[in-house]
Amino acid sequence: MNTKIDSLVLGSYAANCYLLWKNRHVLIVDPGSKSPKIQKLIELQGGFVDGIYLTHGHFDHIAGVDSLAKYYDCKVYMNPLDIPLLTNPYLNVSAGMDNEVILKTEVIGLEPGINQIGEFAFELIDAPGHSEGSSLMIWEGNMICGDVLFQGSIGRTDLITGSNPKMVQTLQKIKQMDANLKIYPGHGPTTTLQEELLHNPFLN
C-alpha cells in the first residue's frame, strides 16, 4: 500500500492544501483556492479523487471547494459544527472582501471517531478553539490539523466561534497524543508533535 501526502500553498493567505494519496486514490484537504495546480498535480500522477475534506470553515481553506467538487463530481466532508461557516461570509471571515466565499456544494457532516471516505479510513477528533468545528484528522501516523496547531504557534482564537478556553482544552488533549505524529498544519511548514512538545511555548 503506497501512501503519501503532497502539499500545495494556495491563495493570498498562503494556506496549505494537502493531497492524501493511497495508491492512486486521492483525498483533497482544504482547497483554499480553485488553483489549477491541484488538478495538474493529480492528473500528472493519474489520481482518482475520492472526496474533499475540510479541517474547518474559514474562507482561506474552502474557497476552491465548489469548482473542485463539480470538476471531480465528488462529495465534501467536515465536522458539522463548522458547516454554517461555509455559506456565511461573516462567519467564514470573507465578508467585505472582493470575493466573498459562499459555498453552494452540499457538505456531509462527519462525527468524531473512525470515518471512511472512499479508500481513506481516519480518526476525526474534535479540536475547538480556532473555530467551534475545527477538527484533527489522524491518518497513517499523520495529523492534519488545520489552524489548530502550527510550527511554534497555534491558531488565533479571537475570530467568531473561536474560544480561548476551548483552545486550552484542545491543546491539553494534543499533549497526550502520540509524539511521533507528523503534523500537517493549515499554514507554514510540517513539523512533528515531538518537536512541538519541546519547542512550542503553547504546549509547554
pLDDT tens sequence across 34-50: 999 999 999 999 999 99
Residue 113 CA to residue 90 CA, distance in Å, equals 30
Residue 62 CA to residue 33 CA, distance in Å, equals 7
CA distances from 132 to 3, 55, 91, 173 (A): 30, 11, 11, 16
Cβ count within 10 A of residue 68: 22
**Cell matching residue 153:** 504557534
* CATH superfamily, domain at 3-203: Ribonuclease Z/Hydroxyacylglutathione hydrolase-like (3.60.15.10)
From first to last of its 204 residues, the chain has per-residue pLDDT tens of: 699 999 999 999 999 999 999 999 999 999 999 999 999 999 999 999 999 999 999 999 999 999 999 999 999 999 999 999 999 999 999 999 999 999 999 999 999 999 999 999 999 999 999 999 999 999 999 999 999 999 999 999 999 999 999 999 999 999 999 999 999 999 999 999 999 999 999 998
Beta-carbon contacts of 152 under 8 Å, excluding residues fewer than 6 positions away, are 196, 199, 200, 201
Residue 44 CA to residue 26 CA, distance in Å, equals 12
Residue 118 CA to residue 185 CA, distance in Å, equals 23
∠ at Cα 53 (47, 54), nearest 5°?
140
CA distances from 47 to 5, 38, 69, 136 (A): 13, 11, 15, 24
Q: Where are the domains of the chain?
A: 3-203
Residue 203 CA to residue 90 CA, distance in Å, equals 31
Query: pTM score, two decimals?
Result: 0.98
